Amino acid sequence: MTNVTRAHKKVSTQLSHPWSAKADWLQSATGILLGLFLLLHMHFESSILLGKEAFYQVVQLLEGGMFSPSGHGFPLVTKVFSVFMLLVVILHAALALRRFPAQLGQWRALRTHMKNINHKDTHAWFWQLVTGFILFFLVPAHLFTMIMNPEIGPHLSAERVYHDNAWLLYALLLPAVVIHAMIGLYRVALKWGLSSRRTALSNVAKMLITYLLCLGAASLITYLFIGSELGTPVQPFVPK
């Protein structure tokens, strides 16, 4: 008889590292934080549509003006919060890079998959991927501006937009961040079972994208008009 010797090799059945699930959760958590912040930020910013006085009061409130004897807020608050948001963005981007196609072949496979399988969620994920890549460059530029020059006000913000030509940055940032954030919140809601009504969630995401784009565009145009009327050097707005 012939003796057959079999070498038994232990094969790991673990498909992913335990950190992967934690990274998914952390990516979703930071995404929700950034998405909700965007909703609040755009509405605070759009108070300029109600007039210079309204925007000035909102800024003083957010910068802790109620704790100042003069009633004027502390720009340091904006600087510190901008640093915090930059750290959150870096963490979120680092976690998202795990899913990013790193090779040309992966991009081709993705495009082929999208062509052969016309699935709306796949297309949504693709656009979130594209906008995420754009935001990787635009968001730090915006936050660094706020860190280096945290002074905010009807005139000072308009000066940044018009005289410093920041309108170009914001014109690119606005559609990218709105589309990325709303698709992200939609996908998180489905992924973690917050809602199973896919069609309803998709419609809400589309309505929010349209609404926020209109709101942001109106605010940006208002800053451009205010900036065009300001002489140099620009003086901070003083309420009546």
Please give the Cα distance from 193 to 189 (Å, whole number). Answer: 6
Omega of the bond leading into 140 within 30 degrees of 0 (cis): no
170's CB contacts (< 8 A; 6+ apart) are 142, 161, 216, 220
CA 43 to chain centre: 14
Q: What are the mean pLDDT values of the chain's consecutive 10-residue runs (240 residues total)?
A: 45 54 89 96 96 95 86 90 96 85 57 63 81 94 94 94 95 97 92 80 94 98 96 88
Please, are residues 150 and 82 in contact by the beta-carbon 8 Å criterion?
Answer: yes
Give CATH for domain 23-228. Answer: 1.20.1300.10
Nearest to 41 by CA among 126, 116, 135, 142: 142
Domain ranges of the chain: 23-228
Record the pTM: 0.85
What is residue 166's predicted lDDT score, i.e. its pLDDT? 94
DSSP single-letter state for residue 100: S
142's CB contacts (< 8 A; 6+ apart) are 169, 170, 173
What is residue 7's predicted lDDT score, i.e. its pLDDT? 43
Q: Could you give the angle at the alpha carbon of 27 between the alpha carbons of 26 and 32, nearest 5°?
A: 95
